[in-house]
Structure 1
Amino acid sequence: MQQLNVIGLGKADTEKLAGKLNQLLSNYQIFYMNVRGFHWNIRGERFFELHVKFEETYNDLLMKIDEIAERILTLGQQPQHTYTNYLDNSSIKEVADVHDGRACVESILQSYQVVIKLQREILSAANDIDDEGTASLMGDYITEQEKTAWMLTSYLK
């Protein structure tokens, strides 16, 4: 007989899914700090435009970080919470000393590509175990971020 967690999902299934969510959390944390650095260090003729956009972006990322951690807890698991874990488990790498707006936007676009891919994997895994909460969260993120990726690509042309 399968052990269920408090929301009626299999404990083994949610443990595996939470592992993927912790990987996503790690990517978001590094992504967030990179964008924070872009916001602080941007220079040049597009400073005012990009400074505001980067603040909007990191605020959105921070909200998602909290939602992902809370989803992991809802699944009965523990979110990672050290930068050592984040650095070890993130496909997104730290970016330092970037001041050029175009390079910052390119890095943000690449980071969205990483998280969108991982979120699709999580969406599929959540659907496999009938975890509507996680699937819905991932679907919402993907929809929003695909549009953002298109807009960033248009900005770079």
Structure 2
Amino acid sequence: MSKNFIGLDKGKAEKLADSLNDLLSNYQIFYMNVRGYHWNIKGDNFFELHLKFEELYDDLLLKIDEIAERVLTLGHRPSHAYSSYIERSEIPEQKDVADGKTAMANIVDSFAKLIGKQRDLLNLAGEANDEGTVALMSDYISQQEKTVWMYRSYLGH
């Protein structure tokens, strides 16, 4: 068994990096969707949602950077082309969404996809003894589960 420079099995690190790049693609599309919601929101809840979407996309941008840096830490290259993001993302690109309820429903659906991918990565990282990725995914999941609960409450679910 060959180890990389941080002591992880090279094969497992490569698989983790690929999964993290998949997650990165989903985050990038989600980020751009939320930017669009922020820019295009209209209606009664404009002020509240405009600020909430900005808060969300700021957080997503930090996570995008952390995920890319984790890929580098594992000894691999993060994806950095939107063509790759669109190709790999399970979160669909959203265009011209101006309705708050539609935007929030899309956000909840996107978080569901991210949380599922992060749970899979958590398991994969655990099997590889990759504590760094485990900690990152665990933090994201716990934060996002609460966010989903709050956004679902906004939607009346």
Structure 1 unaligned runs (5+)?
Answer: none
User: Structure 1 residue 133 and structure 2 residue 132: aligned?
Assistant: yes
- Distance in 1 between residues matched to 2:92 and 2:82, nearest whole Å: 12
- Percent identity over the alignment is 58
One-letter code aligned to 1:127: G
Q: Alignment partner of 1:94: what SS? A: coil
CA deviation map 1:38-68 (0-9, x unaligned): 0000000100000000000000000000000
Structure 2 unaligned runs (5+)?
Answer: none
TM-score after normalising by structure 2: 0.99
One-letter code aligned to 1:81: H
TM-score after normalising by structure 1: 0.99
CA deviation map 1:66-117 (0-9, x unaligned): 0000000000011000001000110001000110000000000000000000
Q: Alignment partner of 1:81: what SS? A: coil
Aligned to 2:23: 24
Q: What CA RMSD, in Å, does the superposition of the two structures yield over aligned residues? A: 0.4
Aligned to 2:72: 73
Aligned to 2:56: 57
User: Structure 1 residue 154 and structure 2 residue 153: aligned?
Assistant: yes
Aligned to 1:142: 141
Aligned to 2:81: 82
- Distance in 2 between residues matched to 1:115 and 1:6, nearest whole Å: 28
- Distance in 2 between residues matched to 1:147 and 1:153, nearest whole Å: 10
Aligned to 1:114: 113
- Distance in 2 between residues matched to 1:71 and 1:53, nearest whole Å: 27
One-letter code aligned to 1:133: G
- Distance in 2 between residues matched to 1:20 and 1:129, nearest whole Å: 13
Cα deviation, residue 3, structure 1: 1.5
- Distance in 1 between residues matched to 2:147 and 2:103, nearest whole Å: 15
